[in-house]
Amino acid sequence: MFPADIISTVEFNHTGELLATGDKGGRVVIFQREPEVLTHLHSILGEYNVYSTFQSHEPEFDYLKSLEIEEKINKIRWLPQQNAAHFLLSTNDKTIKLWKVSERDKRPEGYNLKDEEGRIKDISTVTSLQVPVLKPMDLMVEVTPRRVFANAHTYHINSISVNSDYETYMSADDLRINLWHLDITDRSFNIVDIKPANMEDLTEVITAAEFHPHHCNLFVYSSSKGTLRLCDMREAALCDKHSKLFEEPEDPSARSFFSEIISSVSDVKFSHSGRYLLTRDYLTAKVWDLNMESKPLETYQVHDYLRSKLCSLYENDCIFDKFECAWNGSDSVIMTGAYNNFFRMFDRNTKRDVTLEASRESSKPRAVLKPRRVCAAGGKRRKDDISVDSLDFTKKILHTAWHPNENIIAIAATNNLYIFQDKLNSEMH
């Protein structure tokens, strides 16, 4: 396995027909869902096959700061489709790019001033005029860069989010959030700046940011202190003063050396309805109600059996892993990753939860996803239980995505992408 092949982001488009992945080598791979096949007995869901692959970012070097800028794709966000072409934003640590993905299945033939090879003819040899015609050709997917948004971030970009007005988007780094217009590349507006005058006074950094799905003036950002801040751009040009602060009071009896590290929020997602926020920290996933700031509405233990292992996870740096989280289309189930190629699902209505494994066996067409169970150290083990001591911490599922309307999920397990279709209903009920 080459480090460049490790998947670093996964994202469905707004219809779920396309799925994009970015990797550490700066490449973007787009998968397209094949049409559904109807048989006399039942319909067979279309599979996702490679549609296009392109190099989005190259490694660069900042000579002023003597700093290498790696090509790794940090985030991909699709723009809603407005014509036959698709558009997506991709970003590495410093530069955001807007890409156009379009199809071509015809080519013009019969030029007057060019020959078949495309070479310019000698005008003296042209004795008659003809009308060029469009001839069918094999389908070709063209990916072209339309905009490059650069030089606006001093620190590493961790999030991009397209606004519901479909004209603007924001990009967030450790200390600042910028607002861009999709047509303007040489100017952005700084809407959040938490950089202190003296960097020695720095106590927290921005870890993720997202626009509200329906209200173009609202956005949320999370911090390494475990807080969420909801901001309203109607209140001020610089949103340093938040409208709402979501924070869970700390239990003093549970405080330890690792408390601050494990409370850092690694991802925040608005529900499709816009009413709730889903966050992920190291050990838990939490659902917050926008109308209740004092505590989360729901708290789900993702891998509580790791509490006794925090010391060794700190030593091998796993405690700093940034897990993402996702909602299903109806906001009734949430999903997030864990170690050993496991991922977790929590049904908000039935309060059931399940641990599933992303593997080659489970991704076969007729394979059934079997629930897995991890046994805490010293606990009673049942058949097929996995001991917490035998978990593989190099196999981690950090990036997941859920189809906007259907029970289809995409799981990035290191350099493998697993797509599970219609295997989830039976697991959650």
With contact defined as beta carbons under 8 Å apart, do 240 and 194 qualify? yes
What pLDDT was estimated at residue 379?
65
Q: Is residue 87 part of a domain?
A: yes
Q: Is residue 64 part of a domain?
A: yes
Rounded CA separation 93/129 (Å): 53
pLDDT of residue 296 exceeding 50: yes
What pLDDT was estimated at residue 29?
97
What pLDDT was estimated at residue 422?
64
Which residues, including other chains, have CB under 8 Å from residue 213's CB and lie 6 or more apart? 164, 270, 271, 272, 273, 274
Q: Is residue 305 part of a domain?
A: no
pLDDT of residue 43 exceeding 80: no
pLDDT of residue 169 exceeding 90: yes
Banded pLDDT at 138 (limits 50, 70, 90) = confident
What pLDDT was estimated at residue 108?
76
Q: Is residue 81 part of a domain?
A: yes
pLDDT of residue 238 exceeding 80: yes
Q: Quick: pLDDT tens for 258-278.
A: 999 999 999 999 999 999 999
With contact defined as beta carbons under 8 Å apart, do 208 and 159 qualify? yes
Q: Is residue 123 part of a domain?
A: yes
With contact defined as beta carbons under 8 Å apart, do 215 and 227 qualify? no
What pLDDT was estimated at residue 130?
78
What pLDDT was estimated at residue 360?
81
Burial grade of 3 (CB within 10 A; 0-12, 13-18, 19 or more): exposed
With contact defined as beta carbons under 8 Å apart, do 172 and 221 qualify? yes
Taking phi over 0 as left and psi of -120 to 50 as alpha, with beta for the rest, 398 belongs to alpha
pLDDT of residue 146 exceeding 60: yes
What's the mean per-residue pLDDT of the chain?
89
Q: Name the residue among 115, 126, 182, 193 with its Cα closest to residue 153.
A: 193
CB atoms within 10 A of CB 232: 16
With contact defined as beta carbons under 8 Å apart, do 78 and 86 qualify? yes
Q: What is the mean pLDDT of residues 380-403?
A: 88
Rounded CA separation 411/423 (Å): 13
| Strand ranges for 283-347 from DSSP E | 284-289, 298-301, 325-327, 333-337, 342-347
CB atoms within 10 A of CB 356: 24
Q: Which tokens belong to 392?
A: 């593989």
Percent of the chain with pLDDT over 70: 93
Q: Name the residue among 328, 329, 368 with its Cα closest to residue 346.
A: 328
Number of domains in the chain: 1
Q: Is residue 155 part of a domain?
A: no
What pLDDT was estimated at residue 429?
46
Q: What is the mean pLDDT of residues 60-87?
A: 91
Q: Is residue 362 part of a domain?
A: no
Q: Name the residue among 412, 420, 310 with its Cα closest to residue 7.
A: 412
Rounded CA separation 335/332 (Å): 10
With contact defined as beta carbons under 8 Å apart, do 426 and 39 qualify? no
Residues 373, 258, 266, 290, CA torsion sign: positive
Q: Which of 9-13, 292-296, 359-363, 412-416 has the lowest mean pLDDT?
A: 359-363
Q: Is residue 51 part of a domain?
A: yes
> In degrees rounded to 5, what are phi and psi of residue 4?
-65, -20
What pLDDT was estimated at residue 85?
93
What pLDDT was estimated at residue 252?
80
Rounded CA separation 216/342 (Å): 36
Residues spanned by the domain of 14: 1-150+413-423
